[in-house]
């Protein structure tokens, strides 16, 4: 994640350099755009670094937040469906979002933008089936592009 943010900031800086060099915008506009971009990248990095996804033998849970935090968890026996969402880029770079849904409620735990999302969703399904979380016929897989 940090590497991706640095690549984006570097690409924006190079584009702004050429736009400024060509005289299309004043230097101060380029500088403001670059500073705002770095600020957004830092916020995204800290949010990413404070996000925890956890799978145990009893539950799946996530904890998200910088200043405040939000925690979500579902016991393995309550899992009704495990969905996988991947964009085209996510499929190429092997990352995606795993959506874990609880039976009998609107509770959901999202493992957002994780590496090896397919492998992790399969592992959660296997763990849930071992704990009678859902039957094999109720498996629900959705892949978005």
43-96 residue pLDDT tens: 777 777 788 888 888 888 888 877 677 888 888 888 888 999 988 888 888 888
- Residue 31 resides in a domain: yes
**What domain range is 99 assigned to?**
55-138
- Residue 36 resides in a domain: yes
Number of domains within the chain: 2
Model pLDDT, residue 84: 92
- 42 shares its domain with 64: no
- Residue 106 resides in a domain: yes
pLDDT over 70 at 144, yes or no:
no
Domain of 100, CATH number, reads 2.30.29
Whether the full predicted model's pTM is greater than 0.85, yes or no, is no
Tell me which residue of 91, 92, 55 sits closest to 75, measured CA to CA.
Answer: 55
- 96 shares its domain with 40: no
Q: Per-residue confidence at 134, pLDDT binned at 50, 70, 90?
A: low
- 132 shares its domain with 89: yes
């Amino acid at each position: 994640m940090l590497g991706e943010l640095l690549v984006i900031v570097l690409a924006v800086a190079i584009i702004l350099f050429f736009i400024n060099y060509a005289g299309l915008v004043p230097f101060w506009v380029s500088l403001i755009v670059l500073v705002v971009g770095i600020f957004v990248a830092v916020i995204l990095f800290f949010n990413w670094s404070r996000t925890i996804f956890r799978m145990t033998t009893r539950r799946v849970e996530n904890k998200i937040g910088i200043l405040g935090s939000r925690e979500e968890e579902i016991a393995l026996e309550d899992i009704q469906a495990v969905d996988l969402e991947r964009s085209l880029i996510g499929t190429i770079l092997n990352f995606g979002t795993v959506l874990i849904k609880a039976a009998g409620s609107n509770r959901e735990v999202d493992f957002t933008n994780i590496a090896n999302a397919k492998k992790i969703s399969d592992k959660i399904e296997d763990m849930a089936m071992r704990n009678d979380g859902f039957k094999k016929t109720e498996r629900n897989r959705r892949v978005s592009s």
